[in-house]
Amino acid sequence: MPQIHELTALEQAGAIRRGELCSLDVVEHYLARIDAHSDTVGAFVTVTADSAREQATALDETPPGVRHRHHPGPLYGVPLAIKDLTLTAGVRTTFGSAAFADYVPTVDADVVRLLRAAGTISLGKTTAAELGCSLYSEGLVAPPARNPWDLDCTAGGSSGGAAAAVAAGLVPFAQGSDGGGSCRIPAAICGLVGYKPTRGLVSGGPLGGGGFGLPSHGPIARTVADAAALLDAMAVPVPGEPYLPPPAPPGGYLAAARRADPGRLRIGRFTTPMLADEPVHPDCVAAVDRATALLADAGHEVVEIPAPLRPDLWPLFETIWYVLALTPVPPERQAQLLPLTRLLRERGGAISAATLVATLAELQVQVRLAMHAVAGLDLLLCPTLSRPQAPVGWFTETGDPAQDFERQRRFSPYCAVFNVTGQPSVSVPVAQSAAGQPVGVLLTGQGGADATVLAAAAQLEERAGQAGRHPEIWRAGGSATVKASERVRAGGAARSEAADVR
């Protein structure tokens, strides 16, 4: 019999519906794995074991008819984790920083509330980059997030703990956020699916200034279908949001992913980096070549195109990134920030309002030109990163935060462009490096075409055959198997629930 974590999130939910598992069975299995492996991979900052057990028990005891009226959707009873940058009422939220090590919010982010309403159960908060400022997650409030495929390497950032947790089998999927690649970068490094939705599709409320529309909550998952199901739970319209969400597709995003048939598409591929004049590792180019062949074999037209933006536009992006680092921090705690964060905030504080407005205007001009140039294409295909991996400590090893920031730019010269354009973008694992580590590619669609992106990603995933690969730690520890639960079966509840679902 398979172990619980070997099932996808949707398979776990199905087992709960059929009475083969209770939510508490699944929660206990993952809590045992977290206890055994979280510090090894740097996955969790805070584990909420007691509240997870309480919530699972309450869901298990809810009559079948009631549970589906109050928690519609396919994820009832399935655990996940929330990124430590995301507000969670009553649960410590450090924003990856020692400056907020004891901060406990009084409100939930909208996305947390929506995920709870979908019947998912949070097991805690995952390790994140300090204030979301870096593409690695190596702070002072938790062990560094490490790649479960190679513990000497980073799990990425800023959603590094989320990706480490999913890849190591500590949760079936996780909530992340992506302001410059922060879901897609860790996903590519850890062999997962990382999705950044169209701007406005997922609420960023109730607090925050919107980050010029760059950040978005998104899912990190083992499969495209799991990611799409989590997106359906997140993508519920909330009044007052500054960006109009696109209409949902018929049947939701999960239906689009399950079809895995976007129709015949015209896809523009490129490998030239957009934000740095940086040589691209042969393994990353080979992954794009493999994705090209697989998509062409599926019937799509794949054409070579120039990169939509040029590296000489980096100063515009750089200015925005400096300003985004100006998250309010109490003056007495600013000395507790990491050197990189302090540098970015110093540079951001020196930027005048006039310079910022002019920068945003010029960046929008360049984005418009780029979008006109690719208007005849349904999807863009490019590497997720310029190299497959980076060692833990590599970005900071020189001791110079300016060099740290420069290394990050060269490591990830693709993802952030699509935060500026607001397009839906997904990293899909399609290949392995010469060292056997995962390598992902980016598929990016037109604004609002999330269903097309997910269907194409599912099609590529199916043909690439990487979803069933797992690191060695996946097989370590944990012995629970899928079994009929006496707690669910008592009183015929499982049979009643199955009848209710039908």
Q: Is 191 left (phi over 0), alpha (psi -120 to 50) or beta?
A: left
Give CA–CA dist 2/320, Å, rounded.
47
Per-residue b or e along 222-261, where b marks 16 or more CB atoms closer than 10 Å to that residue's CB: bbbbbbbbbbbbbbbeeeebeeebbebbeebbbbbbbbbe
Strand partners, 193: 221
Give CA–CA dist 198/424, Å, rounded.
4
- Order of strands across the sheet that contains 79-83: 44-47, 121-126, 79-83
The per-residue DSSP string of 65-134 comes to HHHHHHS-SS-TT-EEEEETTS--TTS---TT-GGGTT---SS--HHHHHHHHTT-EEEEEE---GGG-S
Nearest one of 33, 72, 79 to 56, comparing CA atoms: 79
Tell whether omega for the bond before 97 is within 30 degrees of 0, i.e. cis: no
Give CA–CA dist 142/96, Å, rounded.
8
Q: What are φ and ψ of residue 193, in 5° steps?
A: -100, 125
Provide the residue type at 471 as one letter: P
The whole-angstrom distance between residue 387's C-alpha and the CA centroid of its chain comes to: 19
The per-residue DSSP string of 288-343 comes to HHHHHHHHHHTT-EEEE---SS-GGGHHHHHHHHHHHT-----GGGGGGS-HHHHH
Give CA–CA dist 409/405, Å, rounded.
6
Residues of the chain with pLDDT under 70: 1, 478-502
Give CA–CA dist 163/61, Å, rounded.
31
Cα angle value 463/468/473 (rounded, 5°): 150
Q: Among all residues, which ones are annotated catalytic?
A: 83, 158, 182
Question: Mind listing the pLDDT tens digit for each residue in 279-332?
Answer: 999 999 999 999 999 999 999 999 999 999 999 999 999 999 999 999 999 999
Contact status, residue 164 vs residue 372, Cβ threshold 8 Å: no
- The pLDDT of residue 315 is 96
**Could you tell me which residues come within 8 angstroms of residue 72 by beta carbon, excluding any fewer than 6 positions away?**
118
What would be the CATH architecture of the domain defined by 4-501?
Alpha-Beta Complex (3.90)
Contact status, residue 188 vs residue 439, Cβ threshold 8 Å: yes
> Beta-carbon neighbour count of residue 199 at 10 Å?
26
- The pLDDT of residue 216 is 97
- The pLDDT of residue 483 is 42
**3-class SS at 344?**
helix
**Token output for 410:** 């060269």
Q: Is 481 left (phi over 0), alpha (psi -120 to 50) or beta?
A: beta
- The pLDDT of residue 1 is 67
> Beta-carbon neighbour count of residue 361 at 10 Å?
10
Report domain extents, the chain. 4-501
> Beta-carbon neighbour count of residue 152 at 10 Å?
11
The whole-angstrom distance between residue 66's C-alpha and the CA centroid of its chain comes to: 31
Q: What are φ and ψ of residue 173, in 5° steps?
A: -160, 175
* Upper half-sphere CA count for residue 407 (Cβ side, 13 Å): 19
Provide the residue type at 274 as one letter: M
Strand partners, 196: 425
Question: Mind listing the pLDDT tens digit for each residue in 221-242?
Answer: 999 999 999 999 999 999 999 9
Give the DSSP H or E segment for 58. Answer: helix 49-61
> Beta-carbon neighbour count of residue 165 at 10 Å?
35
pTM of the model: 0.95
